[in-house]
Structure 1
Amino acid sequence: MKTRSFLNLLAGLYMALTITSCIDTGIDHKIQLGGQIFNARDSFAIVWKRPTPKEAILGQSQTPFDTVHFDQKGLFLSDAVFDSGMYVFEYNDFEVPIYMQEGKTLNINFNAQSPRESLKFSGSSKKPNVFLKERRNLQSKIQQQANSLLGAPDSLFLGFLDSARKSLDTNVVEFITNKPSFDKTFLEDEQFTAYYYASNLLLDYIRFHEYRETADELKPSTKKMLDKIDINNDRAANNKEYLEFVQSAVSLKVNDSLQNIEGKVQPEQIVPVQFYMIEKMLDAPETKSYMSYAIGRQAFMFIGPDISDSTLTVIRKNITDKAYAKAFDETYTDWQRLTKGKVAPNIKGVDTIGKEIALSDLSGKPVYIDVWATWCGPCKEEIPSLKKLERKYRDDIHFLSISIDDNKIDWRSYVEDENLQGIQIHNEKAWKSKFVEEYKIRGIPRFIMIDSEGNIIDANAPRPSGKAEDLIEEALKTETS
């Protein structure tokens, strides 16, 4: 027993020495990541490779990089070879963003019972990770204050914003002063993060008043402050805060322009205005490529696969970045499976009494489909207009409403309480339903028109409050011709 205890002690000392000193382990590179989790209930943690903002936009998700296992004392070592960049150390539900430097070490220590409060770093990569931890804590405090001041007068909010900027700048400057020879890309990116994070706070304040129709309470000079913030900064084109600011700033201008349209704005009216604003506001190639790609993908949601040639020409002209251009072409090709005349993917669900009903059961008449949920405000706004269409065309076409509510009971109660007509079904897999993926549904309400033979008329049909009646009339004429 004493021999076993002594061997366990030696093993523990060996791991501890390796963590703190990077002694020779027989592996042909230095141990870069190690540490100790006190009071650990689980026996392992996962290290994820975090994609850059651009990689994330292009669809690359966070990927498992390594799994580290703990000994009885919670000590661990990773023998993975890390390139410089951002990773995430995940233990149970606690995630720690970490910055790894090629050839340098990082030790992570915390108590599993209070991980956030007890988190500590050591090793040759300690300073950038302490900085990132402090920055996250600072941003959290600033965000809480900002949220509490959204309804405050301009002078009060702008005073807070000025103080927040100084705190964020000081945080970055202190790190740069202590590590002047550190990775220049990392340092510049953190400067952009501080600047555009504060800029996004200003945008949030303005949008809060815009959307609550209290914009008249804002001083004109407050909104004009946005015009002084650089949105053509390609050096920041891979910075999350910058990209969010650019997209929000363009969207704000689009919303301002749409105020001049009489009546309810329909989704298909938005896309031309978006690209007009991109042309007007952006000239930095990488930033313009990003926005054109992001809005181009969004256009499929608004318009469907039948985007006009002129719109496609504008999108492709603006996307000069090869990665964004390739991703857009792949998206375009994917959506072509939903063009007019293609066989409609089937849709299945159960009605309020549990009977399964499928789109394929409804041949013989055109079908107008409504994808919705009880928690969706815009979906419920369309119900009065949908009921009018149902009363007028119920003998000529099928009206199929499919809910993607998580809670089936809520859906059934709403259908009964509101006396919803047509064919009402529910798919219990909600957003994970097969038809949601096949029809590329990324937002609701979504309307789809199918002909009597089960072929697509419009995979992104007009809303009932829009030009749905024109589409139905055209479909019925085609059926009888």
Structure 2
Amino acid sequence: MKNILLISFLLLTSISCTKKEKVNYIIISGKIENPNSDKLSIVSSRSEVIHTFNLKSDNTFIDTLNISEGYYFFFDKKPIPIYLKPSFNLKLSIDTKNPTKYVEYKGLGANENNYLIEHNALKESSGMQNYYYGHYAKFDENRFLQQTDSLFNLRFKFLKEQNNLDSDFIYLEEKALEYEKLDRLAGFEMMHGFVTKNTNFKVSDNFPNPYKDINLTDEKLSISPYYIRFLEGYLRKVTFSKLEIENLSDPILKTLESIEENIKTPVLREVLAYNVGKNDLKRSKDVEVAFKKYNDLTKDEKRKEEVRQVYLSLSKIAKGKTSPTFKLFDVEDNLISLSDLKGKYIYIDLWATWCGPCIAEIPALKKLEKHFEETDIQFVSISYKDNKKRWKEMITEKKLGGIQLFAPNENISFFKDYQVTGIPRFILIDKNGRIIESNAKRPSNPKLKEQLQNLL
């Protein structure tokens, strides 16, 4: 009898372990032809490295991962979309020099991932003019709506033609198409005004309201980048409506408050609050208050710790703290450091020749430089992830003034200390090298001129 009980216990334990492994783990293996490095990475939709594979001498790789279901990118040099779900056992064949078949998946989970590759190819085959939002947003309202519907119908039809996909994945993809379409409708007014330079453009009263039947509670879609992006757009709209009415100045704190008021589903609240804390906390006017609000909203200890580290880093570049420094070469190969400029107020512009919004700020920046040229305000422009030849050419072409400095790469300590992840970015420093604002106003903001004038 004891033996029977022991065997039964061992069988139950074995079944339990098997189920646990099936639920929690993903196996990924494969081989890459013509690799660009000796490592491969899995990266989240927020550009965070989730896992790194070390290639063996024969360019193969294998590993067991304990990561949650979601959409990621498999990275050699080119991002490869990959959908991962516990119990998947995926084998990849990658050839970096084969443009028509860069990657092929086999094994459990292959159908879903091969669909993603084919779906991307379908988007690319429709051409930039037809698919790229920034291009066809210049169309008039009716043509834009027709193009948006046409793209949605083409891709939805392609999804429905698949007969070997997991039902949960089909739901995710259906909703991804739906929310990408709604997100494009929501952004049309602003995007059309930007690409046509018609800042007074408004959509007609008949334009569809993308937020009319918004669902704020679909926790199944918490892993869908398109759904989360759509909710973030809605929350921005709600937040900025409040800012206009209440005349308040901290959109980051107000966004966290909007999440608290509007998002009642814990899983969605966690994701949305984390995205604000991790990516936008640096833009808060009162980081300490915003960080406290974030902590009130979330229970996920891992995410809380990540945001706490962001908060601690931001505390080092708070108002009144001594600024991180730099030593960089100017256009004439003179080495310039921040300490060389002590005794002046310093307005720093982080920009690049490839950055459209950066270029758009140049005329306003030149006007400010002209207005303050006989004062104690020094304008400094630092290139970011740029090409030195193009940088020099644009300085000459646009007759850029101030001190122009070239950063060799994005890994210099100045960028890291200021947590630079995007440009344009502006920094204002006082005469003693202390920070006035680590996220200063843009040159095109009329309040910047007033602020600079008040310093003198």
TM-score (norm 1): 0.68
| Match in the other structure for 1:223 | 209
After superposition, the C-alpha distances for 1:243-264 in whole angstroms (9 at most, x for unaligned) are 2332244345567788x79xxx
Alignment of 1:39-54 (within 5 A): 48=41, 50=42, 53=44
2: distance between equivalents of 1:112 and 1:299? 35
1: distance between equivalents of 2:37 and 2:360? 49
| Match in the other structure for 1:323 | 302
1: distance between equivalents of 2:277 and 2:83? 33
After superposition, the C-alpha distances for 1:416-437 in whole angstroms (9 at most, x for unaligned) are 4444443x12123243332111
Contact 2:68 2:84 in 1 (8 A): yes
2:156 to 150, 165, 170: 165
2: distance between equivalents of 1:44 and 1:457? 42
AA in 2 matched with 1:350: F
| Match in the other structure for 1:369 | 348
2:235 to 250, 254, 259: 250
1: distance between equivalents of 2:37 and 2:370? 60
Report the structure number with the largest CA radius of gyration: 1
Q: Which runs of 5+ in 2 are unaligned?
A: 1-26, 194-200
After superposition, the C-alpha distances for 1:314-348 in whole angstroms (9 at most, x for unaligned) are 43333343333322222111101112332221122
| Match in the other structure for 1:203 | 183
After superposition, the C-alpha distances for 1:255-313 in whole angstroms (9 at most, x for unaligned) are 7788x79xxx9x95644664464345422222223222323444444346x4373x444
2: distance between equivalents of 1:461 and 1:94? 33
2:131 to 144, 147, 151: 147
How many pairs were matched up? 408
| Match in the other structure for 1:235 | 220
1: distance between equivalents of 2:159 and 2:116? 8
Distance 1:60 1:117, change over 3 A: closer
AA in 2 matched with 1:458: E
| Match in the other structure for 1:291 | 272
Distance 1:42 1:368, change over 3 A: closer
2:110 to 129, 153, 162: 129
TM-score (norm 2): 0.71
After superposition, the C-alpha distances for 1:334-369 in whole angstroms (9 at most, x for unaligned) are 101112332221122223322111110122333333
Check if 1:407 corresponds to 2:387. Answer: yes
- Secondary structure of the corresponding residue to residue 433 of structure 2: coil
AA in 2 matched with 1:372: W
- Secondary structure of the corresponding residue to residue 344 of structure 1: coil
| Match in the other structure for 2:171 | 191
Q: Which runs of 5+ in 1 are unaligned?
A: 1-31, 177-186, 477-481
2: distance between equivalents of 1:241 and 1:407? 33
Distance 1:298 1:474, change over 3 A: farther
Distance 1:198 1:108, change over 3 A: same
Instruction: Give 1:399 deviation, angstroms.
Output: 1.0
Contact 2:29 2:62 in 1 (8 A): no
RMSD: 4.3
After superposition, the C-alpha distances for 1:374-431 in whole angstroms (9 at most, x for unaligned) are 4434434444444454445444414131231523343334434444443x12123243
| Match in the other structure for 1:10 | none
Contact 1:427 1:433 in 2 (8 A): no
- Secondary structure of the corresponding residue to residue 325 of structure 1: helix
After superposition, the C-alpha distances for 1:109-149 in whole angstroms (9 at most, x for unaligned) are 67786475496655xx35x3033202431354157546177
Distance 1:303 1:397, change over 3 A: farther
